[in-house]
Amino acid sequence: QKEVEQNSGPLSVPEGAIASLNCTYSDRGSQSFFWYRQYSGKSPELIMSIYSNGDKEDGRFTAQLNKASQYVSLLIRDSQPSDSATYLCAVNIVSSSGDKLTFGTGTRLAVRP
Amino acid sequence: DARVTQTPRHKVTEMGQEVTMRCQPILGHNTVFWYRQTMMQGLELLAYFRNRAPLDDSGMPKDRFSAEMPDATLATLKIQPSEPRDSAVYFCASVRVTDTQYFGPGTRLTVL
């Protein structure tokens, strides 16, 4: 089982709709969770971080975390064509050598005008 | 506007040649990560350093890859000899303590 799993997509939604991106992780001890956005040919950029169970909202983005189910999601409201990108879920894994991020393979989102 | 810088941005080389990639982390960031990204494997952690000391390089093929941080402003990733399967985008990222990771623009490596 992969440490962080995402549906590769593509997820296609019409402009103005809600896009829902999901991620599951295997390490029950993980405490920090991140969503990165990566445009084609560019580097990943952080858009949301979440540390506690529940929802965290930032503009059109809402991150949701359920540690009991080992599940984290990202909702994008009022999706825009400029949101079309690959979204990477990242989980902080604590090991004897320190903590490091483990990334999922990403979900490609396409927003149709 | 502080940024992680990487050089070169693109590198095309022939199998068997040595490749060196460089990264300048954001000033004040004490942890540096090297990642490799391919379509098939996604973003994989190769190695990382904290306060210039290597913490984990378990993701790196030891026989051909080496990573160093000769000073706080420079991290290097070397491949010798390079192979076609090393073709990928290599990202460097830096972080201050346990804060957000900031990624550099990447080095796109093609090994023929």
B90 touches chain A (CB under 8 A): no
- In this structure, what DSSP letter does residue A83 have? G
B91 touches chain A (CB under 8 A): yes
- Distance between CA atoms of A110 and A84, rounded to whole angstroms? 5
Q: Which residue of A has its CA nearest to B56?
A: A97
B56 touches chain A (CB under 8 A): yes
Contact between residue A10 and residue A111 where contact means Cβ atoms under 8 Å apart: no
pLDDT interval class at A99 (50, 70, 90):
confident
- Lowest-confidence range among A34-43, A81-90, B55-64? B55-64
Express each pLDDT in B40-85 by its tens digit. 888 999 999 999 998 888 889 889 999 999 999 999 999 999 999 9
Determine whether the interchain pair A100/B48 forms a contact, defined as Cβ–Cβ distance below 8 Å.
yes
Using CA atoms in the order B84, A3, A109, A60, what is the torsion angle rounded to 10 degrees?
-140
In this predicted structure, the answer to whether residue B99 has a pLDDT above a threshold of 70 is: no
CB-nearest to A105 from B42, B104, B105 is B42
In this predicted structure, the answer to whether residue A1 has a pLDDT above a threshold of 70 is: no
pLDDT interval class at B98 (50, 70, 90):
low
- Looking at beta carbons, which residues of chain B come within 8 Å of A99? 98
- Looking at beta carbons, which residues of chain A come within 8 Å of B42? 88, 103-106
How confident is the model over A62-89, as a mean pLDDT?
96
- Lowest-confidence range among A83-87, A100-104, B45-49? A100-104
B26 touches chain A (CB under 8 A): no
Determine whether the interchain pair B55/A97 forms a contact, defined as Cβ–Cβ distance below 8 Å.
yes
Asked whether the bond before B81 is cis by omega within 30 degrees of 0, the reply is: yes
One-letter amino acid at A9 equals: G
pLDDT of residue B56: 85
Determine whether the interchain pair A88/B43 forms a contact, defined as Cβ–Cβ distance below 8 Å.
yes
- Distance between CA atoms of A71 and B85, rounded to whole angstroms? 33
In this predicted structure, the answer to whether residue A39 has a pLDDT above a threshold of 70 is: yes
How confident is the model over A80-98, as a mean pLDDT?
88
In this predicted structure, the answer to whether residue A30 has a pLDDT above a threshold of 90 is: no
- In this structure, what DSSP letter does residue B25 have? P
- In this structure, what DSSP letter does residue B26 have? P
